[in-house]
Amino acid sequence: MAGSNGPNWDGLLKWSLSHSDGTESTRQLSDEDRRWFMEAMQAQTMDVVKRMKEISIVMQTPQEVLEAQGVTVEEMEGLLEELQEHVESIDMANDLHTIGGLVPLLGYLKNPHASLRARAAEVVSTIVQNNPKSQQLVMEANGLELLLSNFISDSDITVRTKALGAISSLIRHNKPAIVAFRLANGYAALRDALSTEDVRFQRKALYMMQYLLQENTADCNVAAELGFLRLLTHLASSEDADVREAALQSLLELTRAGKAEAAGLTDEEGKLRQVLQDRITDICQMSPDDLGAAKEERQLVDSLWQACYNEPSALRANGLLLLPEEDELPPDIASKHFEPPLRAWAAPRSAITGSDTTDKKESPVLLLGAGPVTPSGNSEHSRNRDSAGNLSGGQEGTIS
């Protein structure tokens, strides 16, 4: 990205290594070293902002002009991918609006090429994930409406899936967006997504529904009225393990709210009982390795059975709810050495060492190696990535 006039990255790398390899004691930086380092970091920041401005200008250029200039769809995809890398930093994500790039990006959600609509949704998802300021900016620019349109009615399943991932990131911990999603008949769109045969689309829809039900139990009424219970019961038999687990989790939320019983699913002849019995039979026939991988499903099946029928499932009787190797936590070896200082000072030394310390004084534990490097520049605002199923995001449970 940086050209011949950009920062000297080779020099910066060598300088960083020479000051953090742990072979020398920590020393104060000279004014010259400090000035050189800050100039290099500032040059990088300016270089990224400049590049984002260039990409924004290209996005503002009409599609017919780009095609007349020989710019291909693949090249535009590459630019959007590069932009996505830049906005991984929260600072850069928020700067995109400042430099005039957010609105053109949202415009690409209406691009005639499906691959560019999908890529634009991915960039939006990255921008808003765990970022309240950019969530608000996207809402103010009518980004939710554009994403909902693609999610509900786009002819391309990948575009619909990417739009759903971006919506999942946008509404997370964002009450105005959740309300707008409900008012836009978003639950009906989720139901339609679950009715498709696309497993990835189903997963994202399930993760988002799970989040919404946990955020507001009153939404269980909406889900029950729209017929989600029977759809979820069907998906609980899916061949995809993630789909099964997510469907079971949503069923558990609805059952605890009393909706499964009201719908007649928990009757002796109910469909849900048969589905759970089939899952228990399949789990009992699993190999040891498969049983270990199905830990969450085993627990969900048992919890759902108890919620429906007020009795333990057969998994408990067969000793499959908690396997022997899952029964005990691994030994805690390091905590005595890495306790927070105040807690360590307050604890009696005998509790830490397991012996009487009145006669013998313990030597302090020496930790070798360099201390932690304090992030600088934009990295101090970098986000932890989870979603929606995108990105924390997600959160594929963010939901991506």
Residue 79 within any structural domain of the chain:
yes
Residue 1: predicted pLDDT: 41
What's this model's pTM, rounded to 2 decimal places? 0.72
Residue 311 within any structural domain of the chain:
no
3-state helix, strand, coil in the chain (%, to 5): 65, 0, 35
- Give 85-123 pLDDT, tens digit per residue: 999 999 999 999 999 999 999 999 999 999 999 999 999
Domain that holds residue 78: 42-184
**Does residue 191 have a pLDDT over 80?**
yes
> Number of structural domains, the chain?
1
Nearest to 239 by CA among 204, 278, 209: 278
Residue 216 within any structural domain of the chain:
no
Residue 152 within any structural domain of the chain:
yes
Residue 326: predicted pLDDT: 72
Residue 392: predicted pLDDT: 46
Nearest to 249 by CA among 236, 259, 230, 239: 236
Instruction: Give the domain CATH number at 173.
Output: 1.25.10.10
Residue 192: predicted pLDDT: 97
Find the range with the poorest average confidence among 140-154, 173-187, 237-251, 324-338. 324-338
Please count the helices (runs of H) and the strands (runs of E) in the chain: 23, 0
Range 154-175 average pLDDT: 97
Nearest to 107 by CA among 138, 68, 66, 71: 138
Residue 126 within any structural domain of the chain:
yes
Residue 266: phi and psi, rounded to 5, are -95, 5
- Give 40-86 pLDDT, tens digit per residue: 555 555 588 989 999 999 999 998 899 888 999 999 999 999 999 99
Here the tokens at position 298 are 């085993």
Residue 362: phi and psi, rounded to 5, are -75, 140
Q: Which is more confidently placed, 277 or 261?
A: 277
